[in-house]
């Protein structure tokens, strides 16, 4: 038996706001492997998430295979678009969903972790963050502001988090993120500059793997996950079609589960993957390997 054992490790999963997406499944997989899990949540979604937890609305999803309940050591507010409070616009700082939260920036998150757990509080950081305000627009119609916003939230946020959290990681630390194959192939309907942001994320993964590896001994990888119909992905507008199309045309003709991404994350961040860094790991039923469709689109809006 060769188990994934993360007992005694502390994980931060940034980008958990409900029980429906990859972030939740990733956090749950880390907990199942024995890790202590902290999560960071976008401030506008934080109160809703906390209320759902407190009222027991997520209890079914919190059930672990051994009968216990998924628990989080801490739930932090995080808007990873902002590096520090000084650079945060006044209208954000004064917004009712932000102003009572203290320092919700990446600097603030780093400071809270040190205050709560000491100088080197982390073993694993998982970046499950992405946002493209104009994701439904074709690239030919995207504004400069929309394009840069997608890059800031979805790609530079990883760079900023590694800059600030890398020094807080214990020896043998690992960082991982989520990408999508629109980084390397055209996916009609996945717009707003998000394909560019994912390409940046993958390029940055390789460079960060070198720099963070040499500086702190930290590994950096990214998971290229197949389409999954989470609440966040519904913003794309064609996610159900994407899921069905990929399932019909993959070597393994079935839909991807969030758990499959979660268990891959646990493996990549475990000592079992100690020689893997700078890699994009595909978890998509093999769809990335196909060069021609084998089944027709299921809807008129399907990619052509």
Catalytic residues: 180, 190
CA atoms within 13 A on the CB side of 260: 15
DSSP assignment of the chain equals ------TT-EEEEE---SSSSHHHHHHHHHHHTT-EEEEEE-HHHHHHHHHHHHTTTTHHHHB-TTS-B---S-EEE--TT-SSGGGS-HHHHTSTTTTTSS--SHHHHHHHHHHHH-SS-EEEEEE-----TTTTS-GGG--HHHHHHHHIIIIIHHHHHHHHHGGGEEEEEEEEEEE-GGGTS--TT--TTHHHHHHHHHHHHHHHHHHHHHHH--EEEEEEEPP---TGGGGGS-HHHHHHHHHHHSSS-SPPPHHHHHHHHHHHTSGGGTT--S-EEEESTTGGG-SS-SS--SSTTS--
Q: How far does Cα 215 stand from its chain's mean position?
A: 24
- Annotated binding-site residue numbers: 15, 129, 198
Mark the binding-site residues for NAD(+), compressed into ranges.
15, 129, 198
217/171 Cα distance (integer angstroms): 6
Bridge partners (DSSP) of residue 283 are 225
């Amino acid at each position: 038996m060769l188990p994934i054992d993360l007992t005694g490790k502390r994980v931060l999963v940034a980008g958990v706001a409900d029980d429906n997406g990859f972030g939740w499944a990733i956090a749950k997989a880390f907990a199942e492997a024995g890790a202590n899990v902290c999560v960071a949540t976008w401030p506008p979604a934080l109160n809703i998430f906390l209320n759902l937890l407190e009222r027991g609305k997520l209890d079914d999803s919190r059930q672990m295979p051994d009968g216990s309940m998924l628990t989080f050591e801490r739930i932090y507010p995080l808007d990873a678009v902002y590096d520090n409070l000084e650079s945060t616009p006044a209208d954000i700082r004064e917004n009712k969903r932000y102003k009572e939260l203290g320092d919700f920036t990446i600097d603030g998150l780093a400071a809270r972790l040190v205050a709560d757990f000491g100088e080197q509080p982390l073993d694993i950081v998982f970046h499950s963050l992405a946002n493209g305000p104009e994701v439904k627009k074709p690239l030919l119609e995207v504004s400069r502001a929309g394009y840069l916003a997608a890059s800031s939230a979805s790609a530079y946020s990883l760079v900023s988090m590694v800059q600030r959290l890398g020094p807080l990681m214990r020896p043998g630390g690992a960082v991982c993120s989520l990408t999508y194959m629109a980084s390397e192939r055209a996916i009609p309907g996945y717009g707003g500059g998000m394909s560019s942001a994912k390409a940046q994320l993958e390029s940055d993964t390789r460079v960060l793997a070198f720099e963070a590896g040499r500086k702190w001994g930290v590994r950096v990888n990214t998971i290229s996950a197949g389409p999954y119909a989470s609440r966040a992905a519904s913003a794309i507008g064609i996610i159900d079609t994407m899921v069905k199309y990929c399932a019909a045309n993959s070597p393994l003709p079935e839909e991807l589960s969030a758990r499959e991404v979660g268990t891959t994350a646990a493996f990549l961040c475990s000592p079992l993957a100690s020689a893997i860094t700078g890699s994009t790991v595909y978890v998509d039923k093999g769809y990335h390997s196909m060069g021609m469709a084998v089944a027709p689109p299921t809807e008129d809006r399907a990619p052509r």
